[in-house]
Every structure is written in structure tokens, then in C-alpha cells.
DNA sequence: TCGAGAAATGACAATGTTGACATGGGTGCG
DNA sequence: CGCACCCATGTCAACATTGTCATTTCTCGA
């Protein structure tokens, strides 16, 4: 390697052709005799030749690489699937995904963008850990840019986000359709979009069903990043009141887990004595709980996939795509 | 972009120097007058020039890229930190990490290796999701290779793994030192290394303390990938027997979560009426449980870091590194 | 058998950069 | 004053490949 890496010319010599013919073979050009092709392929295999991507890049002006900038805990449990979706879709389209993680304070952001642009990425996906508004630096716009799990305030960039509102409507409807008439929603911090949209969808759906009583409870207090759970307190109030609900919808799976504990402490069996449903489908929680937690899966994988597709479709329309969420029904509701 | 990407020559023209001088500036070569340097840097900024990595690669024969192959759920919640550790260390050393995920049946493995080698990666890290033996294909050995969270059966490759045995000794010792005398260990599937090593460390430590009674319970049944939890049954037996333990050590955090539920069902308070400790430190579980779960954190981040360092140190010794685990003490033990 | 047209192959320039080496102008020292 | 030397800068080849266009070889119909 290094010094003695075999080149297209070595292969040509071994195969007894011009190096241009070798180039044709590795690029699947039609105009090559089957015998010539065979000879060349044999030589390639014998010498262990691999095309040099760097040289290819210069001539063809295509890097075959797409950059993905994952903000903060982009590698968190919440959004690994976004990266996976992007990676698999890119791979399927013959592209390579380069992932860069940005730390909390975004101090390596500019350096990251520089590195990606130096490598002549054909597009960039900016993926956020949780659904929120962002304001991407102008540097980023040097190549096609798609936002995933976030959107820009000015509405100038294509983006793909989960349809939180519809998800909340769906899960609420499910609780109603399975016979529940008193539903408490344990909301997230309303400062985050998911908090606002989920409670809006919940309440709108409740209001469409006059026979159903539904209300929201503040289950999280404190600032983002400094949040404190109020679930135990809320649950204890709910269970001891004369307005005891028959179903509890949780803003996220961690809340559902606390709810399970509260129920068990009160000798109630989740899913039997009280329906529990939730959002996020963190499998490690949803599948470990007994009974399994029925929860709305966020379309992380699909967002990654969509972002790549949009980028490669060269569709320059600025679309603001909302992807629907899947309800994963287990036994809790 | 594409057609009109500015090159080193454009910069040279704008700065009124030869393009070689521009090359010197972007490579931080000493022999450039401050004024010349300034002129060039201004031109670079004005034109938005970025060096073309492809061209650099050809001449310098260095790609600046390290490949990381993450097996299966390498992107799982368990080992994202390994990737993060590798990424940050690579970044700190001026290298770029390219991550490829291999699917369950490894069918895209060869293609993945090809892609990495075509890009002339300077080394490859093979990272496994869970600690086990692997048998890397010879293709991989074309460049320096380091195994992370796994080891090769033949012992021919450098690797870095968690010191499961020492971790088990440490946590057991902690339980003993905090006054517990009857300790049950709820073991993992003994087919996996963590299962064997953790129970070995537990039992060895117990045997060093004649005053302490300790034993293992089979908490998981079934094959890898098809595992069934026996925790409820085991716990119910333990809590109803006259040999009730005063501390429970769990093979992993998911087991600890089930243990919490069993305790609460029996009106016992985890951490108060019964100590609970565990392995893995899945924060989403360990921090959501009340009280917080005391658990041994696996050195995923450090393994990623070590792998990069070893690769870049050009230390060709085949070391088999065991990294120690950190005990994260919360309130459960 | 010949010629036309298509198919296969080759020669050579071009890509954007760095390495090796050359040049020119200033500085220090005898 | 002249010579040697160093530093700044420049010239040109080399890198591994693809694009363009030219050349050779083959095929088929008259």
C-alpha cells in the first residue's frame, strides 16, 4: 500500500490492453468485448486493484458523498434511526454518507462544514436530535441542504419532520375507540414543539368526542436540559382523586415508565386496570416494560430516508414534509 | 460549484502570486512572507476557495480518513458511544471517521470493505455491538485493523474490550463493603462473554468473603436474539423464600428495571429495602428509574478512543487491551 | 470482394494538487 | 566590493483517473 498501490496502468499491462480499456471495464462501459472484459477483470482480481477515489473525483467532479451533520446528541438513542435511514438509502443509491457530530455548543460546527465541503459532498443533511427550529449558517447553503427533524425559521429550506399533531390525534382516537372515557395526558415541556403539538392534537380530538372527558397535566417542570419529572406527584393526585382517569397518555416513554411504577405502587396493573399509551417507541423501554408499552413510533428512519431521496432527486422545490407516525400497539392500550 | 469551483490557480491569479505559493499558504509552509500570506488568505476568503481533497489525496497519498465498520446494531443504544469516542479522537488528530453499518446477516460486508479501501482509508476499526469473538475476513487486513468490543479467535489482531471480570469484582465488592451479606446475581445468557465473565467475577469475589452468601440465578433463557426474561419468576421465588437476599446484582440494566417492578409489586422499595446494582449504564433506564440505578458503565467511549489512538500510533504490537469499567453510583446501591 | 458504418480500442489532454528543483534578490561577512 | 548563503517564490513534472477524439477492427449488404 502507500508506495506500491496498484494502478489502472498496472492492470492494463497485466491484461495486455491500454489503460483506457481498463477504465471502461471498471466503469461498466458497454463497448468492451466479453473476452477483453474477462481478461481485465482477471487482472484486476489477480493484482487486487481498487480504483482510486481521489483521482476519480478530480476528473468526474463527483465525490459520491453526502454529508450528515448530527446536532448534539444526534447520536442519542432518539435519532440513531435517522442516521441509519439516511445511510441505507444513500447506500442503495450508490452514495456514501459521511456523518459528523456536532457537540453541544456547536463550536466545531464551522470546522465540520469546512471538512465536508473540502470533500466536495454533493449535499448536506442537517439532522436535529429533537424536533425544533434551527437557523443554519449560510456556509451550509453552498451545496443542496435538507433539514431533518427540524425546520428553518425563514422557511427557505426543504425539511422533513414528524407529524406530531396527527400522531397525537391518532393515539387519542385509539384510546377512545377502545372504550376509554376519562383520559389524562401527561404533557412534555410545552417549550418544545412536540409538547405543544401533541397536546394540541390530544385536546382537539377530545373535543370532537363530547362523551369523552380529557385533560392535560404538567408532567415536566424546569428548563430544557434541566427538566424535573412531576409524574409521581401528578399520578398520586390522579389516582387519589374522584376524577380518576381510565387511560393515561404520556408525552414520552420515560414518562410512561414512571406511570407504570406509580400504578404498580397503587396495586394497579398497567394495561388492565388502566390503559397507558405514549410517544417515541424507545424500544429498550417499550419492550422491557410489562406489559409491553403501546406507543407512537417517530418516523426517524423514514426522515433519514426522505432527506436523502429529496437531496438526490434534485427537486429544488422547498417542501416542508410531515411524515406520519406509526402506532406500535403492544399490550398496555 | 461543479463547473465553476474555484481552484488554487484562481486564487493565485487573484492574489498575484504563483499557484505554488497558494499551496504553501494552505499547507502552513513556513517560507512565506507575512504580506504574501495575507494577500493569499484574503483572496481565498474572497473567492470562497476550498482545497480539493481528491487532488490532495492523489499527490500526498494520504486520505485522512479512518473507516469504522459497525456490526449489526452497531448503532444501537449500547455502542453509540464507541463511535462517538472514535469520532472525537479521530477529529482531534486531524482525521476523519467514516462509519459503515453492517446489517444483521453481514451481506453488505464485502461491499463495505471495498468502498472503504477504494477511499484509501488509513486504517479500519471493526466495532462489535456486544463483546464477542469475530473472525474478520482477510480483505480487511489490507490496512491496519483494530478490533473494538470484540477480539479475533486467532489472537492475531490488536483489540480493545471491556474488562468484564474486573467490573464484576468491583461491583460485588461494593455491595459487600456497603454491608450486604446475601447477594443474588441475576445472570445473562452464559453463551455471551459478558454473561460468563460477570458471573465468574461475582463468584470469585463472593468466595473471597466467607461471611458473605452469594449465588447466581438464571434470569434469561433461550437463544441469543430469542431471549426470554425469567426475572419475574426468579424474583418471586427469591422474595418468597426464606433465603431472601439483601442485594440483587443484575446482568444488565433491563433486568434491573424488571427487578424494580418486582420489588414494588411486593411493596419493597429499591435501594432502601433491597439494594440493586447492575451493568451497562444505559442512561435512559438508569436515570429514569427511581431511585437512580447504580450500575457499571462500560467503557464504550474509551474503547473508540483507544482504537483510534492505537491505529494512529503505528504501534504494530498486537495488544489485547482490557479497559476498566466505571461504577456509576446512584441511589440504588 | 469491397465499402460503409458500427463497434472496439487506443492516444493524449485535462483535472487540482504537491514534490523536486530552479531562480532571484537580499543579507552578512571577509 | 564581492562572494556565499538563505529565504521567498516560481517552474514543471507527477499523481491516477476520465473525457475527447482518433484509429483500428469487425460486420453486413451490394
Q: Name the residue among A241, A236, A130, A231 with its Cα closest to residue A185.
A: A231
Which residues 124-183 in chain B show a CB within 8 A of chain A?
142-143
On strand D, nucleotides with any atom < 7 Å from a protein CB are 7-12, 14-20
At B72 the pLDDT is 67
Closest residue to A55, CB basis, from B2, B58, B80:
B58
User: Is A96 within 8 Å of B67 (Cβ atoms)?
Assistant: no
Contact at CB, B54 and A51, closer than 8 angstroms: no
Pick the CATH number of B65-162+300-324 from 3.90.45.10, 3.40.50.720, 3.40.1390.20, 3.40.50.2300: 3.40.50.2300
Q: In this model, does residue A1 exceed pLDDT 50?
A: no
List, in sequence order, every residue forming a beta bridge with A133; answer none if it has no partner.
A151
H or E segment and range at residue B54: helix B53-60
Contact at CB, B96 and A98, closer than 8 angstroms: yes
Query: Alpha-carbon distance B20 to B9, whole Å?
Result: 9
List, in sequence order, every residue forming a beta bridge with A150; answer none if it has no partner.
A132
Asked if strand C contacts A52 at the CB level, meaning under 7 A, the answer is no
Which residues 284-323 in chain B show a CB within 8 A of chain A?
284-285, 288-290
Class of B164-297 per CATH? alpha beta
CATH architecture, domain defined by A2-51: Orthogonal Bundle (1.10)
Chain B residues touching residue A77 (CB < 8 angstroms)? 77, 80, 284
How confident is chain B (333 residues) per 10-residue block, as mean pLDDT? 74 94 94 94 95 95 94 68 93 93 81 92 92 84 92 92 98 98 96 95 98 96 84 96 95 96 94 97 93 97 97 84 97 95
Q: In this model, does residue A70 exceed pLDDT 60?
A: yes
CA of A4 to C1' of C9 (A): 28
- Residue the block writes with cell 441505507: A88
Confidence class of residue A25 from pLDDT cuts 50, 70 and 90?
A: very high
pLDDT digits (tens, 9 = 90+) for A221-259: 887 778 889 999 999 999 999 989 999 999 999 999 999
- Residue the block writes with cell 392535560: A216
Closest residue to B54, CB basis, from A57, A117, A257:
A57
At B105 the pLDDT is 73
Task: Answer whether B65-162+300-324 and B164-297 agree in fold.
Answer: yes
Averaged over A116-123, what is the pLDDT? 95
pLDDT digits (tens, 9 = 90+) for A171-204: 999 999 999 999 999 999 999 999 999 999 999 9
Determine how β-strand A182-187 pairs with β-strand A320-323: unpaired
Contact at CB, A120 and B53, closer than 8 angstroms: yes
At A107 the pLDDT is 76
Chain A residues touching residue B84 (CB < 8 angstroms)? 75, 101
Name the 3-class secondary structure at A277.
strand
Structural domain boundaries in chain A: 2-51, 65-163+300-325, 164-297
Closest residue to A96, CB basis, from B57, B115, B257:
B115
Contact at CB, B57 and A53, closer than 8 angstroms: yes
Q: In this model, does residue A4 exceed pLDDT 90?
A: no
At B181 the pLDDT is 97
Mean pLDDT of chain A: 92
Q: In this model, does residue A2 exceed pLDDT 60?
A: no
What one-character DSSP code corresponds to residue B74?
Answer: G
Query: Alpha-carbon distance B319 to B333, whole Å?
Result: 35
DSSP per-residue string spanning B78-107: TTHHHHHHHHHHHHHTT-EEEEEEE-TT-T
Averaged over A45-51, what is the pLDDT? 95
Asked if strand D contacts B215 at the CB level, meaning under 7 A, the answer is no
At B298 the pLDDT is 95
φ, ψ (nearest 5 deg) of residue A22: -60, -45
Non-local CB neighbours of B58 within 8 Å, separated by 6+ positions: A52, A54, A55, A58
Domain B2-43 sits in which CATH superfamily?
lambda repressor-like DNA-binding domains (1.10.260.40)
A79 — contact with chain B (CB < 8 Å)?
Answer: no
Asked if strand D contacts A36 at the CB level, meaning under 7 A, the answer is no
Which of A288, A289, A332 to mutate against chain B (most B CBs within 10 Å)? A288
B264 — contact with chain A (CB < 8 Å)?
Answer: yes
Averaged over A23-36, what is the pLDDT? 93
φ, ψ (nearest 5 deg) of residue B101: -100, 135
CA torsion, ordered B28, B32, B34, B37, to nearest 10 deg: -60
At B1 the pLDDT is 40
**CA angle at residue B221 from B220 to B222, to 5 degrees?**
130
pLDDT digits (tens, 9 = 90+) for A253-286: 999 999 999 999 999 999 999 999 999 999 999 9
Closest residue to A54, CB basis, from B3, B54, B257:
B54
**CA angle at residue A51 from A45 to A54, to 5 degrees?**
160
Rg of chain B in Å (alpha carbons) = 26
Q: How far is A154 from chain B (nearest CA, A)?
A: 24
Chain B residues touching residue A53 (CB < 8 angstroms)? 54, 57, 118-120
User: Is B172 within 8 Å of B201 (Cβ atoms)?
Assistant: yes
pLDDT digits (tens, 9 = 90+) for A151-165: 998 889 999 999 999
Class of A65-163+300-325 per CATH? alpha beta
Averaged over A21-44, what is the pLDDT? 94
In this complex, the residue with its CA at the shortest distance from the C1' of nucleotide C6 is A31
Chain A residues touching residue B3 (CB < 8 angstroms)? 61
On strand C, nucleotides with any atom < 7 Å from a protein CB are 7-12, 14-20
Amino acid at each position: 500500500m502507500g508506495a506500491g498501490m496498484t494502478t489502472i496502468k498496472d492492470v492494463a499491462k497485466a491484461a495486455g490492453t491500454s489503460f483506457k480499456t481498463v477504465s471502461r471495464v471498471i466503469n461498466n462501459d458497454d463497448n468492451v468485448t466479453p473476452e477483453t472484459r474477462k481478461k481485465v477483470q482477471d487482472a484486476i482480481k489477480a493484482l487486487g486493484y481498487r480504483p482510486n477515489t481521489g483521482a476519480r473525483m478530480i476528473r468526474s467532479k463527483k465525490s459520491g458523498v453526502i454529508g450528515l451533520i448530527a446536532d448534539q446528541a444526534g447520536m442519542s438513542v432518539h435519532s440513531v434511526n435517522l442516521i441509519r435511514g439516511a445511510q441505507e438509502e444513500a447506500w442503495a443509491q450508490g452514495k456514501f454518507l459521511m456523518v459528523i457530530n456536532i457537540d453541544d455548543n456547536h463550536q466545531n460546527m464551522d470546522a465540520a462544514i469546512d471538512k465536508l465541503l473540502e470533500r466536495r459532498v454533493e449535499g448536506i443533511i442537517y439532522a436535529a436530535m429533537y424536533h425544533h427550529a434551527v437557523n443554519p449558517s449560510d456556509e451550509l447553503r453552498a451545496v443542496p441542504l435538507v433539514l431533518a427533524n427540524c425546520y428553518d425559521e425563514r422557511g427557505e429550506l426543504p425539511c422533513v419532520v414528524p407529524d406530531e399533531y396527527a400522531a397525537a390525534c391518532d393515539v387519542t382516537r385509539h384510546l377512545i375507540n377502545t372504550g376509554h372515557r376519562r383520559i389524562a395526558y401527561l404533557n412534555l415541556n410545552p417549550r418544545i414543539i412536540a409538547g405543544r403539538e401533541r397536546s394540541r392534537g390530544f385536546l382537539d380530538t377530545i373535543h370532537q368526542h363530547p362523551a369523552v372527558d380529557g385533560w392535560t397535566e404538567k408532567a415536566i417542570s424546569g428548563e430544557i436540559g434541566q427538566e424535573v419529572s412531576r409524574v409521581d406527584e401528578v399520578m398520586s393526585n390522579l389516582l387519589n382523586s374522584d376524577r380518576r382517569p381510565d387511560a393515561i397518555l404520556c408525552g414520552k416513554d420515560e414518562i410512561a415508565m414512571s406511570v407504570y411504577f406509580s400504578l404498580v405502587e397503587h396495586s394497579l396493573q398497567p394495561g388492565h386496570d388502566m390503559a397507558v399509551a405514549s410517544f417515541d417507541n424507545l424500544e429498550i423501554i417499550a419492550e422491557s416494560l410489562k406489559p409491553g408499552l403501546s406507543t407512537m413510533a417517530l418516523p426517524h428512519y423514514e426522515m433519514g430516508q426522505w432527506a436523502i431521496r429529496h437531496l438526490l432527486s434534485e427537486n429544488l422545490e422547498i417542501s416542508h414534509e410531515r411524515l406520519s407516525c406509526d402506532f406500535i400497539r403492544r399490550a398496555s392500550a
